[in-house]
């Protein structure tokens, strides 16, 4: 899927870029002219596959293993991105979900892990991006897109309230940070996917979730990763030059 004629746009760091929405964003960003540094957590082969696909299409990409909840890993990922050139874009996409559970069934360890990856991780990534892109720090500006979830407004009841809460934090991060750095050359926006046909449902112990929910969706189908990626890339690019502090739902009317 191409998003326009390739140009030199600097470097885009995409967290969780080995599969699903992150992989679609990585491929699209490379096709649009960014050199791409993507992070992955466990599946090195999948990450290598995304890099190979970008290389085969004439783009530039590298992959680095990182747990976004670990500060040292995030800093190492930004160092790897710097090896490709000047950072101009961050897509904070990495996220996890736990097995279906009520709040009164959740362990502290589960909630801590979900908040660490889904809320702390994006904050650390944004901190490092601002330190490099802000004109206050000598940078040339850039764009940040946070991948949230429609769950933040739906609540995730009877499935994953902790996940929904973590994505509510992403919404707040996007709104607050956008105002902090608007005069420093950085735009910050949030994309909130709905039910998207990716592997995250299976990793959360519900491989049939998309099939179960499809009849309840206003458009009678789940979304595709490329559809979310298109929204992310629009917000990253110049066509969205007056958009900051925005929250864009890509949820098929849900």
Q: Which residues are annotated as catalytic?
A: 163
Q: What are phi and psi of 24, to 5 degrees?
A: -65, -40
Q: Residue 57 is encoded by which pair of tokens?
A: 């299409």
Type and span of the H or E element at 1: none
The stretches of the chain forming alpha helices (DSSP H) are 20-31, 44-56, 71-82, 108-115, 121-133, 151-154, 161-181, 200-203, 209-213, 225-236
Q: In what order do the strands lie in the sheet with 35-40?
A: 61-65, 35-40, 11-14, 87-92, 142-147, 186-193, 247-250
Which residue(s) pair with 61 in the sheet? 36
Q: Is 25 helix (H, G, I), strand (E, B) or coil?
A: helix
């Amino acid at each position: 899927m191409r998003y326009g004629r390739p140009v030199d746009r600097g470097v885009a760091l995409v967290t969780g870029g080995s599969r699903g929405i992150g992989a679609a964003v990585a491929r699209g960003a490379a096709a649009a002219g960014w050199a791409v540094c993507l992070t992955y957590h466990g599946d090195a082969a999948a990450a290598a596959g995304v890099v190979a696909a970008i290389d085969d299409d004439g783009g530039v990409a590298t992959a680095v293993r990182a747990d976004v909840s670990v500060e040292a890993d995030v800093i190492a990922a930004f160092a790897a991105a710097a090896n490709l050139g000047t950072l101009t874009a961050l897509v904070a996409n990495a996220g996890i979900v736990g097995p279906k559970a009520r709040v009164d069934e959740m362990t502290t360890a589960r909630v801590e892990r979900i908040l660490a990856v889904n809320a702390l991780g994006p904050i650390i990534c944004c901190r490092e991006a601002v330190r490099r892109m802000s004109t206050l720090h000598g940078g040339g500006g850039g764009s940040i897109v946070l991948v949230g979830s429609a769950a933040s407004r739906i609540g995730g009841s009877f499935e994953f309230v902790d996940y929904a809460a973590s994505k509510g934090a992403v919404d707040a991060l996007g709104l607050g940070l956008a105002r902090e750095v608007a005069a420093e050359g950085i735009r910050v926006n949030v994309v909130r996917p709905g039910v998207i046909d990716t592997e995250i449902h299976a990793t959360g112990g519900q491989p049939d979730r998309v099939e179960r929910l499809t009849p309840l969706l206003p458009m009678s189908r789940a979304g595709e990763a490329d559809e979310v990626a298109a929204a992310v890339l629009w917000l990253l690019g110049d066509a969205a030059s007056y958009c900051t502090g925005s929250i864009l739902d890509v949820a098929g009317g849900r």
